[in-house]
Amino acid sequence: MDGSTATVLGTFIGALGGVSGGWLTVLSQSRQQRAEHARWRDEARRDAYSTYLSTAKQLSAALWKMSDLLGDDGSAPDERQAGFVRAHDAWTEFSSAAAAVSVVGPRPVADAADVFRQAMYDWDMIGLAWYEAAGASGREHLEEFNERFLAAARAKRQPDKNFQTAARTALNTET
């Protein structure tokens, strides 16, 4: 092998090494970017799911407090109104949290959140109807609202559990 062949061969091997090294660097950076995106996505999901569950509990507590006031013959109209306003504000927070879950997904979690949101909406609407009925008339027919309210409270339990299961699956924390 003469000197020029050795130089060409050495240059070729050097270039091949440079290309291979560059390709490995790009591959490594791509993997790192995917891993960082997955961490970011999981953190965003964890935050959204946690907020969603927290606001659901806050809404639930506000609805129960409102129902206590609506079921109490001694409660004043301004107390009932304050209870309604607290429940309405809690609904607003919960609804915003539901939208965040829909955005961060994935689809099974967003779908479970939507079913749970609908169950909470149904419960909230019964509370609203009860509040309006309590303000519009006497208290003689309000017991039916309490029964409907309790039934809606029971009906939201399974959608709540289904959402939590879907969230654990999406976060890969189901063991």
User: What local confidence, expressed as pLDDT, does residue 174 receive?
Assistant: 77
- pLDDT > 90 fraction of the chain, expressed in percent and rounded: 67
User: What local confidence, expressed as pLDDT, does residue 74 receive?
Assistant: 87
102-136: per-residue pLDDT in tens?
A: 999 999 999 999 999 999 999 999 999 999 998 87
User: How many CA atoms are closer than 13 Å to the CA of 19, on its beta-carbon side?
Assistant: 6
Confidence of residue 166 (pLDDT cuts 50, 70, 90): very high
Q: Is the pLDDT of residue 43 over 80?
A: yes
User: What local confidence, expressed as pLDDT, does residue 21 receive?
Assistant: 64
Burial class (CB in 10 A: 0-12, 13-18, 19+), 163: buried
User: What local confidence, expressed as pLDDT, does residue 39 receive?
Assistant: 93
Question: Do 84 and 130 contact (CB within 8 A), yes or no?
Answer: no
User: What local confidence, expressed as pLDDT, does residue 15 receive?
Assistant: 61
65-104: per-residue pLDDT in tens?
A: 999 999 888 889 999 999 999 999 999 999 999 999 999 9
User: If you average pLDDT over residues 156-168, what whole number do you get?
Assistant: 98
pTM of the predicted structure, to 2 decimals: 0.82
Cβ-Cβ contacts under 8 Å for 104 (sequence gap 6 or more): 41, 44, 45, 48
User: What local confidence, expressed as pLDDT, does residue 82 receive?
Assistant: 97
Strands (E), the chain: none
Q: What is the mean pLDDT of the chain?
A: 88
Confidence of residue 50 (pLDDT cuts 50, 70, 90): very high
